[in-house]
């Protein structure tokens, strides 16, 4: 689980860059643009804050289950929003492909929450 959390940090930081620069880097992930800078920067900040939460969780002696549940819901929700946006013609299919990583992380986090990756609470970092 710690490996998934650490990997998610990198994934989210990459996503934050895409949202911070939607008219250049964001085009690589199929993000619609142009958008006013305030929206791109605020969304980038939000995604970067989640990266910080994943980094913090990965370093804790005991991983906080409610916070993992919240992040799993957030990741799954982002994927659903991207799918709906594509379905409604508001975003290209590349956005769904780029968001598929969020779905994978949501599944890993959910698997862990359901006991698939249960470990002793005193497992070393």
Q: Which secondary structure element, helix H or strand E, spans residue 29, and what is its range?
A: none
- Check if the beta carbon of residue 97 is closer than 8 Å to that of residue 30: yes
R_g over Cα of the chain: 15
pLDDT at 123 over 60: no
pLDDT at 99 over 60: yes
CB 84: neighbour CB atoms within 10 A? Answer: 12
pLDDT at 19 over 60: yes
- What is the rounded distance in angstroms from the CA atom of residue 40 to the CA atom of residue 18? 9
- Check if the beta carbon of residue 58 is closer than 8 Å to that of residue 9: yes
**What is the pLDDT of the chain when averaged over all its residues?**
91
> pLDDT digit string (tens) for 23-51?
888 888 878 778 899 999 999 999 999 99
- Check if the beta carbon of residue 106 is closer than 8 Å to that of residue 8: no
What local confidence, expressed as pLDDT, does residue 117 receive?
A: 63
- Check if the beta carbon of residue 16 is closer than 8 Å to that of residue 26: no
- What is the rounded distance in angstroms from the CA atom of residue 44 to the CA atom of residue 31? 13
Backbone angles phi, psi at 108, to 5 degrees: -65, -45
- What is the rounded distance in angstroms from the CA atom of residue 117 to the CA atom of residue 122? 14
């Amino acid at each position: 689980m710690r490996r998934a959390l650490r990997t998610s940090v990198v994934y989210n930081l990459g996503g934050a860059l895409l949202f911070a620069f939607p008219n250049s880097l964001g085009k690589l992930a199929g993000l619609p643009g142009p958008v006013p800078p305030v929206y791109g920067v605020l969304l980038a900040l939000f995604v970067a804050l989640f990266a910080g939460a994943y980094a913090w969780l990965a370093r804790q002696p005991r991983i906080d289950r409610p916070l993992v549940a919240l992040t799993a819901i957030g990741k799954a929700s982002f994927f659903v929003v991207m799918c709906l946006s594509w379905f409604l013609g508001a975003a290209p299919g590349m956005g769904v492909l780029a968001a598929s990583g969020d779905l994978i992380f949501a599944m890993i986090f959910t698997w862990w929450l359901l006991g698939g990756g249960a470990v002793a609470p005193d497992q070393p970092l």
